[in-house]
Homo-oligomer: A and B are copies of this chain.
Amino acid sequence: MAETIRDAVAAVRQKVGDKPARAIVKLRAEGRMGEGTRCDMRVGSFEVGVDEPVSVGGTGTAPNPVQLSLAALGSCQAITYRYWATELGLRLDAVTVSLEASFDTGAFFGFPGAAGPVSPSDVHCAVTLEGPEPEERYKELVTVVDEHCPILDLFTRSIPVERNVTFA
């Protein structure tokens, strides 16, 4: 697997050559929601269901968007560890992630007195790395992964979102 990743990344690097802009790809998602809170998102050939729990009037068929953002953060940490362990030549047998965040339903629903942000807050991400390398090398890996993890960067950076709303 390490060879597969190394070869694939080398091929992308070769293709990009001395034109860094060639490395920029467009990613897309789309979806539709009907009467309830169930939302069927499509990402390329994959479907991602999103819903709200029954306790807040949803149909409880899938994770909600904030839970999905935590799944994105945890998996992105793990996958970034995989790529950068390969790049640095470190054996990494497994990565385990465990995430927790606070969410203020009062801020979301607009209850009086709600003071918190509507985004998740108090975000904690615990990572366990398994492998035979000296701890010192994994610590180097942690530093590099912190600098290259897209969804960690998404959480900690302020990213503008251009929106267009159409009335049909």
Contact = CB atoms under 8 A, between A and B. Distances in A.
Q: Name the residue among A9, A12, A36, A159 with the largest chain B CB count within 10 angstroms.
A: A159
A158 to B, nearest CB: 5
Question: How many monomers of this protein are in the complex?
Answer: 2
Interface in A63-81: 63-81
B6 A57 contact: yes
Contacts of A166: 126-129
B82 A37 contact: yes
Contacts of A8: 54-57
Q: Is chain A's binding surface mostly helix, strand, loop or mixed?
A: mixed
B154 A9 contact: no
A34 B75 CA distance: 12
Contact of A20 (B36, B80, B106): B106
Interface in A35-93: 35-37, 39, 41, 43-44, 46, 48, 50, 52, 54-58, 62-83, 87, 93
7 contacts: A5-B56, A31-B75, A33-B94, A68-B68, A69-B72, A130-B168, A152-B161
Interface of A: 1, 4-9, 12-13, 16, 18, 20, 23-37, 39, 41, 43-44, 46, 48, 50, 52, 54-58, 62-83, 87, 93-111, 113-130, 135, 138, 142, 146-168
